[in-house]
Structure 1
Amino acid sequence: MDPGDGDEALLARVAAGDPAAIRSLVAAKLPRLLALAGRMLGESAEAEDVAQETFVRAWKQARNWRPGGARFDTWLHRVALNLCYDRLRRRREVAMDSPPDHADDGPAPDRGLQARDVGRRVAAAMAALPDRQREAVSLCHYQEVSNIEAAALMGVSVEALESLLSRGRRALRVALADMVEP
């Protein structure tokens, strides 16, 4: 069964002001929205802001939602992606001397140095991708969205999405080539 099948009934309950439905909606959708925004933006605080704004928009839209069009999950991801792009545009407008420091919430240094280095390298390689390639890779590989749904979210054909994925994967392979064991 498609996890999005119950979204319309849940959304109707949200529109009616049911607090349990709102909690259920957030519980069901928050992890994927945080993961998507985190991969797109590279900062957990910004990802949380995007997720919160996405839910505010979903709550406001709940009364006007009409079943039969786009899947709610698709719409929700599109809203989150648009909010991410807004933030990415604003970042380009503000030049920074150096990247901000991030607290390390990972495993203890004696156990997690290599894993942290790999994660940073992959995150840096993802961040270096052009926006559309990063979006395609994030949706298909990290969010596990089908190619058809990802293409719809991005407003491109499936062939164009596959081209973006191919170029993104190739760029990641080049950027991370020294990490692969012979």
Structure 2
Amino acid sequence: MDRSDPDEELLVRVAEGDPAAVRALVARKLPRLLSLGQRMMGDAAEAEDVAQEAFLRVWKHAAGWRPGVARFDTWLHRVALNLCYDRLRQRREIVLAEPPEQVDEGPAPDRGLQAADTGRRVSAALQALPDRQREAIVLCHYQEFGNIEAAAAMGVSVEALESLLGRGRRALRLALADMVEP
């Protein structure tokens, strides 16, 4: 067995139907595939679809994998990129005989500028919080941890976490009070 490809042994086990190997391979490769898909597609849901389809192809073709032709990681990323390009082509290929006769009901062009300004203000207010309050807010609101999980990650009790969240939210509300529309 060629040891130059760190994924070869795992891929052999996937081909043999080893569920632990499948889980290990997904755990090892999924974050980078999602990142690639997100950057290529600009959409998290499509990035997940691309990653899922790439893993389906791995499982279908694992038994036929030929070591030494290309590194598995290179092949997997090529598969994911090809899936992205296929999806991007499908987006472009929607051809209409005539332009639609409807009013664009999307946000006004200046809404993007307002959203960017709001994002900067929220980010600055978040950065102004004491470290532990900011950590609690980020874990619970941005990383979507539950209170028990966030408290464990911070090494505090759930009650202490809730106190940090309460103080952080009050400070953010006060810092951003002028942004609330009447």
TM (normalized to structure 2)? 0.52
1:64-114 CA distances to partner (integer Å, 9 max, x unpaired)? 0011110000000000000000000011123796889xxx9xxx8853379
Match of 2:123 among 112, 125, 142: 112
Q: Distance in 2 between matches of 1:74 and 1:45?
A: 23
Q: Report how many residues are paired.
A: 106
Unpaired runs of 5+ residues, structure 2, are 108-114, 127-182
Q: How does 1:1-182 map to 2 (within 5 A)?
A: 5-94=5-94, 110-112=121-123
CA distance in 2, matches of 1:78, 1:37: 12
Unaligned runs of 5+ in 1: 116-182
Distance 1:12 1:36, change over 3 A: same
Q: 1:34 to 1:113 in 2, by over 3 A?
A: farther
Q: Is the 8 A contact 2:5 2:72 kept in 1?
A: no
Distance in 2, Cα, partners of 1:89 & 1:98: 26
When residues 86 and 109 of structure 1 are mapped into structure 2, their CA distance, relative to the original with a 3 A threshold, is same
Give the structure, 1 or 2, with the largest relative contact order (CA under 8 Å, sep 6 or more): 1
Conserved? CA contact 2:11–2:62, under 8 Å: yes
Letter in 2 for 1:28: R
